[in-house]
Amino acid sequence: MPSSAKKRALLPKLRFPEFRDAGEWEVKPFDELFVIGNGKDYKHLSSGDVPVYGSGGYMLSVDGYLYDGESVCIGRKGTIDKPIFLSGKFWTVDTLFYMHSFRSCLPKFIYAIFQNINWLDHNEAGGVPSLSKANIAKIEVAVPEVIEQQKIADCLGSLDGLIALETKKLAVLKTHKKGLMQQLFPTEGKTLPKLRFPEFRNTGEWQKRKISNLLVRSATPLNVEVKEVYREIGIRSHGKGIFHKEPVLGKALGGKRVFKVEENAFVLNIVFAWEQAVAVTSPAERGMIASHRFPMYKPVERKSDVDFIKYFFLTNKGKELLGIASPGGAGRNKTLGQKEFDNLEFHSPINVEEQAAIARCLLSIDDLINNQSERLSALKTHKKGLMQQLFPTQGEVAA
């Protein structure tokens, strides 16, 4: 290999100014940097305040510890691509390796390196993913002097702190929405919600009405042209919204029955309705198509608001009713019946304006959640890009 190529491999693309003349990073195998420890059984221990971790994360707390100090952990079996940084007293089970006795390196710097490794490339099993101590030990990485490691670790640590803060904000918003939905819809056996907007408190109780009185099926068949380009919609379970499939030529659709997507329509996936695969279409779906698996419904004028109906079906009661309307066998083989769905009954405000007010409230929270999710995603993308520049890539080091 030319010396110039080797030099490039030992230097990151981005380096802090004070270290630009500090020379190349040194390539070392992991077994020269730390000792790999095995997890152990904890069942002989009693309940306590020392956390126990497996490859899937935290499990429980006990009254003894396996190690006390900073450590980086990686799964031995199962989840092998989720490094964990631990500090203080802890215990790991036999599905999780823990690193200790670090030499000429900082645990937090090693944690950053672990996050930059594609661990699945080191999988040694054909079934359940597995790593071995021997395989981990021989992985070679480039490391700078400890003072530069500290600078990199501090930089990434600050970013991790910001990501943790934004993650917590997202969790708070989701918890707030969940609690609000429990108050905006009647609980089991009640005809009124716990929380009602002031302008509707004297408009009477909610009434039980059938879906067939609130929604009307909208199905406009489309004649598929083999040379035209079409894009289908799909619906995620658990109320996670509509997604758009890749565009295809009409020829690829074969004899599939498809329909024009109607805007502002309540739509569900009949196969996973019981799993709350429900949504409302928007202008983003204009010009798209849907198969017969995604029936669409328009609101009966002055009787219903489709966003209100969507949010109802995202409550526990709504999920229960979708399950009742989806008879089927064991497992996930449950298909929504059209008649069963039409005959579902639930309590709703007679005044459509009250329905719309509830929907607007929840839509505004969903906007906050979506904005926060995007902010968090942008931070994670920024961190990923930063790490790619702060470290020589694994391929370059191996070369």
Write the pLDDT tens digit of every residue in 128-155. Answer: 999 999 999 999 999 999 999 999 999 9
pLDDT above 70 covers what percent of the chain? 95
Provide the pLDDT for residue 264. Answer: 96
CATH of region 207-348: 3.90.220.20
Structure tokens at 342: 């039409």
- Banded pLDDT at 394 (limits 50, 70, 90): low
Provide the pLDDT for residue 341. Answer: 98
Of 48-52, 70-74, 200-204, 331-335, where does mean pLDDT reach its minimum? 331-335
Secondary structure element (H or E) that encloses residue 148, with its range: helix 146-184
Q: How far is CA 158 from CA 57, 108, 153, in A?
A: 22, 12, 9
- Banded pLDDT at 103 (limits 50, 70, 90): very high
The yes-or-no answer to whether 26-143 and 207-348 have a common fold is yes
pLDDT above 90 covers what percent of the chain? 89
| CA–CA dist 34, 5 (Å, integer) | 28
- Banded pLDDT at 331 (limits 50, 70, 90): low
Taking residues 194-199, report their average pLDDT: 96
Residue 220 CB coordination number (10 Å): 10
Provide the pLDDT for residue 399. Answer: 52
Distance of CA 215 to the CA centre of its chain: 32
Taking residues 73-95, report their average pLDDT: 97
Mean confidence (pLDDT) of the chain: 94
Of 106-110, 200-204, 307-311, where does mean pLDDT reach its minimum? 200-204
> Tell me: domain 26-143, CATH 3.40.190.10, correct?
no
> Tens of pLDDT along 347-366?
999 999 999 999 999 999 99
- Going from N- to C-terminal start, the domains of the chain cover 26-143, 207-348
- Banded pLDDT at 329 (limits 50, 70, 90): low
| CA–CA dist 56, 79 (Å, integer) | 6
